[in-house]
Amino acid sequence: MLDQARPYAFLLARIALGVIFLVHGAQKFLTGLDKTTGFFESAGIPLAAVAAPAVAVLEVVGGVALILGAALPVFGVLLALNMLGAIVFVHLANGFSVGEGGYEFVLALAAGTLAVAFSGGGALAVDGLRQRRRQPVAV
């Protein structure tokens, strides 16, 4: 029973995480990269003018990749590192609780993304579909 449910659990987790990253990345573009850059500067993020658009692109592209289940190990690690940066530069000083601006939610995103990244992606993941095509068929 668990083996049958696992691919669908990873599919749901992948989509939920992907949507969260996609929306947060899109917000950075919609509110204006100049405002995102200003926030990054105020948070002490190095090279904020480069980091802000890079993070916005990563979150949009990485979010779509998670939803599709494509290049999961690559985008999973990059998004987890992105969340590690958010913890260090923005949330750590506020403690654990998300209600106080802490790192609780960001830590959950990082851990969930890594779990999905190395799971194979579950049902309907592009990575899984490509891998099945590459395996030799016994004749």
Burial (0-12, 13-18, 19+ Cβ within 10 Å), 30 = exposed
Buried b (16+ CB within 10 A) or exposed e, 54-91: ebbebbbbbbbbbbbbbbbeebbebbbebbebbbeebb
Are 23 and 63 in contact, with CB atoms under 8 Å apart?
yes
pLDDT (tens digit per residue) in 102-120: 999 999 999 999 999 999 9
Q: Where are the domains of the chain?
A: 2-134
Per-residue model confidence (pLDDT) at position 135: 57
pTM greater than the 0.85 cutoff: yes
pLDDT (tens digit per residue) in 30-71: 999 999 999 999 999 999 999 999 999 999 999 999 999 999
The conformation of residue 101, written as its DSSP 8-state character, comes to: T
pLDDT (tens digit per residue) in 13-22: 999 999 999 9
